[in-house]
Structure 1
Amino acid sequence: MPAITPERLPVRHVSGVAQPLFERAMAARDTHGALVTQRDRIAIVDFDAPSYRSRLHMIDVMNGASQRLLVTHGIGSDRGHTGYLQQFSNDDGSEATCEGAFATSDYYVGQHGRSQRLLGLDPTNSNALSRAIVIHAAWYANKDMLLTHGKLGRSQGCFAVGDAELQRVFDHLGEGALIYAGKA
């Protein structure tokens, strides 16, 4: 990683990301520095937005460049399948999305193919590893779901992206990056 010099200070705002959410993500990056080794990039999931909006923001914090992608939330976070996250949960068996700071960990091949483990760094997501909350691709996260259903399907709490987008996410984050999920 390039050294942070006065010319390379992290950005203070990213277009399209709610400022309070961005500030909490950057504070979490600093707080959890021992596990967040990729300091020049983060991802923020803005769960104020519905699932039919691109609410996963992959951000280069050194220049403010960002990419936005569709991402699911958990069944337990939206029991009525409205497309809006209604509640977070860290409870085993909840099938809900949990909030807070995550560090990306290792890759593996599992039930959903190529996936990446996430380490929950806050009390609100401390069970992420034992609940197998991961990043993976899923058919119900593909863009064509919007044409037929007007919203994405739901995961069991994981951050599922479209099949064609998974490699972009892996390439942006790598291991040791921060994902921050929440509402402004």
Structure 2
Amino acid sequence: MKKALVSVCLSFSLLTLSPATFAHYVRAERPVVPGESLSAWFRAYDDLHLGAAGLKREVFEYALRGLQKIDAKPIISIVDMSQPSTKKRLYVIDLANKKLLFHTYVSHGRNTGELMASSFSNVNSSNKSSLGFYKTLDTYMGKHGLSLKLKGLEKGFNDNAYDRAIVLHGADYVCEDFVRRTGRLGRSQGCPAVPNAMSKQIITAVKGGSCLFVYYPNQDYLKKSTYLATL
């Protein structure tokens, strides 16, 4: 009886914590996988110098908050669309082994913006990127070569991704030469396209059940995403 009462009191106290305090509690206490704690995953931000690589701590913590709620491998791919397309804004992180596997360019949809992303959609034929959390599926050979199917997990934000054929693939317009010629990266029909030279390695590393998080500071998304809710 006493244990049950303590549990109820603890649960109630968590409900009254501020988001920052709750995040601290989760980082310090909540186990994620056997032998690994979420606090160790959060330390990866400093250990891997992700700030120096251009990724804001807030975005990394959003990604981990969502990852806790997804049955996925401990590999997180973060596309930070708050950065211009001329920046290397894709981060593929092996949390279990504390390694930054890839840090490179990634495109956004042609109707999402030019240099900067600004407009997002879940609608077919919109040629826009979709925000939120995805789970990687299986691979196939398409017009861009080896490509990776994606399942959008967030209703209203990216759950039409599979039907829209939004996939991870390589593209010749995702390269520094294109940036030098045009002042921005090439754009896709909504897919997160990566450099051709790295696409096979990236796809092989993340296929089959890892998590992809496409971020932009869109207030509607940040308020409504169930994956970013602290409780």
TM-score, normalization by structure 2 = 0.71
Structure of greater Rg: 2
**Residues 160-175 of structure 1: pairs in structure 2 closer than 5 A:** 160-175=193-208
Aligned-pair RMSD on alpha carbons?
Answer: 1.8
C-alpha distance in structure 2 between counterparts of 1:104 and 1:146, whole Å: 28
SS at match of 2:161: coil
Say whether residues 1:70 and 2:105 are aligned partners: yes
Unpaired runs of 5+ residues, structure 1, are: none
Task: Identify which of structures 1 and 2 has the higher relative contact order when contacts are C-alpha pairs closer than 8 Å and 6+ apart.
Answer: 1
Q: Equivalent residue for 1:27?
A: 65
C-alpha distance in structure 2 between counterparts of 1:119 and 1:6, whole Å: 26
Q: Equivalent residue for 1:53?
A: 87
- How far is the alpha carbon of 1:8 from its aligned partner? 8.8
* Closer, same or farther: CA 30–8 of 1 in aligned 2, 3 Å: closer
Unpaired runs of 5+ residues, structure 2, are: 1-32, 218-231
Higher helix content, 1 or 2: 2
Give % identity: 32
| 1:43 aligned to which of 77, 83, 90 | 77
- How far is the alpha carbon of 1:118 from its aligned partner? 0.2
Runs of 4+ in structure 1 deviating by more than 3 angstroms, as ranges, are 6-10
Q: Equivalent residue for 1:138?
A: 171
Q: Does the CA contact (< 8 Å) of 1:8 and 1:62 recur in 2? A: no
* Closer, same or farther: CA 31–55 of 1 in aligned 2, 3 Å: same
C-alpha distance in structure 2 between counterparts of 1:44 and 1:97, whole Å: 14
Q: Does the CA contact (< 8 Å) of 1:118 and 1:129 recur in 2? A: yes
| 1:147 aligned to which of 171, 175, 180 | 180
Say whether residues 1:181 and 2:211 are aligned partners: no
* Closer, same or farther: CA 119–88 of 1 in aligned 2, 3 Å: same
The aligned amino acid for 2:201 is R
C-alpha distance in structure 2 between counterparts of 1:51 and 1:12, whole Å: 26
TM-score, normalization by structure 1 = 0.88
Which is further off, 92-101 or 169-178? 169-178
**How many residues are aligned here?**
175
